[in-house]
Amino acid sequence: MTTLIEYFNQGLSLEQYINQMEVNKAEMHKIYETFELPVDDPRLQFVKDKHLKAIVITEDWCGDAMMNLPVLMKIAEATDMPLSISLRDSNLDLMDQYLTNGGRSIPKFIFLDESGNEYTNWGPRAEKVQNFVMDLRKDLPAKDDKHFESKQKEVHHQIHEKYKNTPEFWNEVYESIMEQLTK
């Protein structure tokens, strides 16, 4: 069985991942350029002192990854945290160790300590973002309804637009990740 540190070492660099992106690249970049870490958050030094690394399980088509990864990138920069990207669909053995309610929801951030052991993990969504998504989805018709697919596309579009344009969501992601890292 592959260890977490082996997955970390086998992953793509952030630059390699971004260079191979075909979906959501511009949107992710916009969020990264727009999002700002809170000034003088003492938790950042706490995380920096932990000397963590992170494995990011993701795919470029994922809207949640489009929003969450830029926030993690800013945290990683501020705390000198190396990131390693594992594409979900190429690493199902890793992904299947981090299911959410039985599903392969991404992104998942697996934080490793200095010994390469799991320190904690996070994802795929901050709680307030999850509540927003669930609220939008509650009115979808049944999957066998002839309108399900078109209604689902509408909901996905609304979620995507909200993710791209809502700094409050980005701040929720930041708070959620930091809360997990400083438990």
Q: How far is CA 14 from CA 32, 39, 125, 131, 181, in A?
A: 13, 24, 20, 29, 20
* pLDDT recorded at residue 158: 97
* pLDDT recorded at residue 39: 87
Interstrand relation of 53-58 and 108-112 (parallel, antiparallel or unpaired): antiparallel
Mean predicted confidence (pLDDT) in 23-27: 98
pTM score, whole prediction = 0.97
* pLDDT recorded at residue 7: 98
The second-level CATH assignment, the architecture, of 4-125+169-182 is: 3-Layer(aba) Sandwich (3.40)
pLDDT tens for 137-177 read 999 999 999 999 999 999 999 999 999 999 999 999 999 99
* pLDDT recorded at residue 66: 98
- Cα(129)–Cα(67) distance, integer angstroms: 11
Percent of the chain with pLDDT over 90: 99
The Cα diameter of the chain in Å comes to 54
pLDDT tens for 68-116 read 999 999 999 999 999 999 999 999 999 999 999 999 999 999 999 999 9
